């Protein structure tokens, strides 16, 4: 304070120190800005404290390069717009007034409301106006170049045609302009998830808006440099998504899809309204158990009892999507993940199974919306269990698809191969046959699979045929991608399920003489029973699942042991019953 006493009074110096303290904390602490300055005093120190720490600064990869997109999926009513949109964008401006920010919403009126809240803070928030007199207007309508419900221009040193804050929506595409940051706040909303076409239009709108990118390099000594800024500031183009989940086919789900167009570019966080206690996270928790013993994300505003009532009001499906960020809850799934049986791939004896391969070709497009190509091999044992041995799933080129199929044939020697014969797939079948002519050792009968219809309904009817297999625990699979696709069906891609249906359609069970390992295991159990003196022939037949033989004399039954040949005949007779 001694330096200030020489120029101004001590009281004014204290005020100046407080003002600088407020300026520094507002720029560097998002929680402080939102709670102390903007007045969002209902914030929870744990939940919102973590949210603010996570998004206080832009995230970087391990190699030191910044992520292109950050995405936060938060439950409804958790102040996500107030903190991650309003407060964060104000903080970005206070850090660097040369920002040009575009805020988008699925509905135009909602975008105007968000900008209206930012406008109110710069017009009426006395703390902001006191702490940042150089970054606010004394009379905004008279001084600002643009001060409307769609554009706000705040004090800055650069001359840009874009305002500091701008808005757009999925209803109106922004034409022209370039921005250092675009915020998509609930771009996906109830109005645009009613059909596949609507969701596809929103996704295309999202990608078009990315063309409005801009970046700036500001160095000390430049006219655009401000005193508090570092010697060099790089305003690179950033995309921020703030949303709740609606559908696995919507724009947000496509952006965070690990196999989608933006893979590796997104840092995203998903927050559920109800979570298991930390010491029990390893246990299996369904929604019903979470309602009883789960932990609320925002206890002061959403205690567990309130979340229960909200679930009853919204229904399980909508509550799961909007509050749990799970657009298709396991309770409503056609196929349940727990019904698929894992197996030990090394322990499955191939000689006791027949193998069948199915090919679901993709077209030659590498577009995200195009289906994946799938090559799948399934093994069938003598009692009808199905083992998914190997799956290749990607956007194949024609040559890569044939190579993948030949690799399956070399490994498993399938008895038949099913290939879909519709359009381009017909030519694939031709080239597979030509390849086999040049490699006689890879010749396998090819079964053309004709579809009952190309509509989604026809495909759905085919996939429904898997349900009895899954419910009876006859599908054995280890691939987590396959299980995820099945668990989220029909709200996700269904290429692997469709291919497995084809493999099952061409499959058949091996006869008993191809299942000697199972027979020897049963004979071993019989011999163990003999050696332990655990019973006579009726006990052995019980192990085999065969009823007792007829009585020889009234009041007496056959009690003799079966010789080995009789045991094998009994086993064969039992197997024919299946």
> pTM of the prediction?
0.67
**The pLDDT value given to residue 513:** 53
- Residue 134 shares a structural domain with residue 154: yes
Structure tokens at 71: 């995405």
Structure tokens at 384: 């009808």
- The predicted pLDDT at position 2 comes to 47
- 13 with 136, same domain: the answer is yes
User: Residue 453, exposed/middle/buried by CB under 10 A (0-12, 13-18, 19+)?
Assistant: exposed
Q: What is the DSSP letter of 556?
A: B
Query: What is the reported pLDDT for 127?
Result: 95
The DSSP annotation for 18-33 comes to: HHHHHHHHHHH-HHHI
Q: What is the per-residue pLDDT for 574?
A: 58
Query: Cis before residue 485, ω within 30 degrees of 0?
Result: no
Q: Are residues 280 and 264 in the same domain?
A: no
Contact 75, 159 (CB under 8 A): no
Question: Tens of pLDDT along 364-420?
Answer: 554 444 567 899 999 998 888 999 999 999 888 888 888 899 999 999 999 999 988
558, 537 Cβ separation under 8 angstroms: yes
475 beta partners:
386
Rounded CA separation 472/491 (Å)? 23
- Examine the domain organization and report whether 298 and 243 are in the same domain: no
Please give the Cα distance from 373 to 496 (Å, whole number): 9
Q: Are residues 222 and 305 in the same domain?
A: no
Transcribe 35-76 into DSSP letters.
Answer: IIIS--TT--TTHHHHHHHHHSS--B-TTSPBPSEEEEE--T
The H-assigned helical ranges of 150-258 are 196-209, 251-256
Domain shared by 258 and 314, yes or no: no
Following DSSP, what letter does each residue of 355-378 receive, concatenated? EEEEEE---S---TTSPPEEEEEE
3 state DSSP class of 511: coil
* Whether 473 contacts 343, CB under 8 Å: no
Residues 32 and 177 in one domain: yes
Encoded tokens for 175: 């034409």
Pairing status of strand 266-270 against strand 354-360:
unpaired
Query: Domain check: are 15 and 157 in the same one?
Result: yes
Report the candidate in 425, 408, 426 with the shortest Cα–Cα distance to residue 417.
408
pLDDT tens across the length of the chain (578 residues): 444 445 567 888 889 999 999 999 999 999 999 999 999 999 999 999 999 999 999 999 999 999 999 999 999 999 999 999 999 999 999 999 999 999 999 999 999 999 999 999 999 999 999 999 999 999 998 999 999 999 999 999 999 999 999 999 988 766 678 999 999 999 999 888 877 788 889 999 999 999 999 999 999 999 999 999 999 999 999 999 999 998 888 899 999 988 889 999 999 999 999 999 888 878 878 888 899 899 999 999 999 999 999 988 888 878 888 999 988 666 567 788 888 999 887 777 655 789 999 998 876 554 444 567 899 999 998 888 999 999 999 888 888 888 899 999 999 999 999 988 776 666 777 888 888 888 878 888 888 887 654 455 567 778 878 888 888 899 999 998 898 888 877 766 778 898 999 999 999 988 865 445 555 555 556 656 655 555 444 444 454 444 444 444 444 444 455 565 666 666 666 555 44
Does residue 453 share a domain with residue 307?
no
How far is C-alpha 335 from the chain's CA centre? Answer: 17
189 with 279, same domain: the answer is no
Tokens 């206070």 — which residue?
94
Domain span including residue 393? 337-510
CATH number of the structural domain spanning residue 221: 3.40.50
Q: Are residues 410 and 301 in the same domain?
A: no
Q: Give yes or no: residues 416 and 483 share one domain.
A: yes
Structural domain count, the chain = 4
CA angle 316, 318, 323 (to 5 degrees): 95
């Amino acid at each position: 304070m001694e330096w200030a006493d020489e120029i101004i009074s001590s009281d004014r110096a204290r005020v100046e120190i407080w003002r600088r303290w407020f300026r520094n904390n507002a720029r560097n602490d998002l929680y402080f800005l939102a709670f102390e300055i903007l007045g969002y005093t209902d914030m929870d120190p744990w939940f919102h404290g973590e949210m603010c720490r996570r998004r206080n600064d832009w995230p970087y990869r391990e190699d030191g390069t910044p992520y292109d997109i950050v995405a936060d999926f938060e439950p409804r009513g958790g102040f996500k717009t107030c903190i991650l949109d309003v407060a964060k964008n104000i903080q970005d401006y206070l850090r660097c007034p040369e920002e040009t920010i575009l805020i988008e919403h699925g509905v135009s009126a909602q975008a105007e409301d968000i900008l209206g809240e930012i406008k109110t803070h710069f017009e009426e928030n006395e703390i902001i106006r006191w702490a940042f007199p150089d970054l606010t207007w004394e009379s905004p309508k008279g001084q600002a170049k643009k001060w409307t419900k769609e554009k706000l221009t705040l004090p800055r040193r650069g001359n840009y045609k874009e305002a500091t804050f701008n808005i757009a929506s999925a209803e109106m595409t922004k034409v022209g302009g370039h921005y250092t940051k675009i915020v998509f706040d609930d771009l996906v909303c109830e109005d645009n998830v009613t059909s596949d076409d609507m969701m596809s239009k929103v996704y295309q709108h999202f990608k078009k808006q990315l063309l409005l990118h801009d970046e700036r390099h500001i160095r000390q000594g430049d006219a655009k440099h401000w005193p508090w800024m570092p010697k060099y500031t790089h305003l690179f183009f950033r995309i921020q998504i703030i949303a709740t989940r609606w559908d696995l086919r919507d724009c947000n789900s496509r952006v965070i899809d690990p196999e989608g167009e933006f893979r590796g570019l997104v840092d995203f966080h998903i927050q559920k309204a109800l979570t298991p206690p930390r010491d029990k996270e390893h246990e299996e928790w369904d929604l019903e158990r979470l309602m009883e013993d789960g932990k609320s994300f925002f206890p002061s505003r959403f205690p567990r009892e309130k979340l229960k009532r909200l679930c009853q009001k919204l229904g399980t499906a909508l509550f799961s999507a909007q509050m749990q960020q799970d657009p298709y809850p396991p309770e409503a799934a056609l196929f349940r993940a727990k019904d698929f049986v894992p197996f030990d791939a090394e322990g499955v004896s191939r000689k006791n199974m027949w193998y069948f391969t199915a090919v679901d070709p993709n077209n030659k497009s590498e577009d995200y919306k195009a289906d994946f190509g799938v090559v799948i091999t399934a093994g069938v044992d003598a009692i009808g269990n199905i083992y998914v041995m190997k799956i290749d799933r990607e956007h194949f080129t024609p040559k890569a698809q044939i190579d993948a199929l030949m690799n399956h044939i070399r490994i498993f020697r399938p008895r038949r191969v099913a290939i879909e014969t519709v359009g381009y797939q017909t030519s694939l079948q031709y080239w597979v046959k030509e390849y086999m002519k040049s490699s006689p050792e890879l010749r396998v009968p090819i079964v053309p699979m004709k579809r009952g219809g190309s509509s989604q309904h026809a495909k759905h009817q085919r996939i429904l045929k898997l349900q009895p297999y899954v419910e009876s625990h006859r599908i054995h699979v280890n691939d987590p991608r396959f299980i995820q696709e099945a668990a989220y069906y029909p709200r996700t891609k269904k290429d692997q399920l469709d291919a497995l249906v084809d493999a099952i359609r061409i499959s058949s069970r091996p006869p008993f003489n191809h299942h000697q390992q199972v027979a020897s295991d049963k004979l071993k159990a019989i011999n163990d029973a003999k050696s332990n003196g655990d019973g006579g022939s009726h006990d052995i037949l019980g192990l085999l699942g065969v009823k007792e033989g007829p009585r020889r004399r009234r009041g007496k039954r056959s009690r003799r042991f079966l010789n080995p040949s009789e045991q094998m005949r009994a086993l064969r007779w039992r197997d024919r019953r299946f």
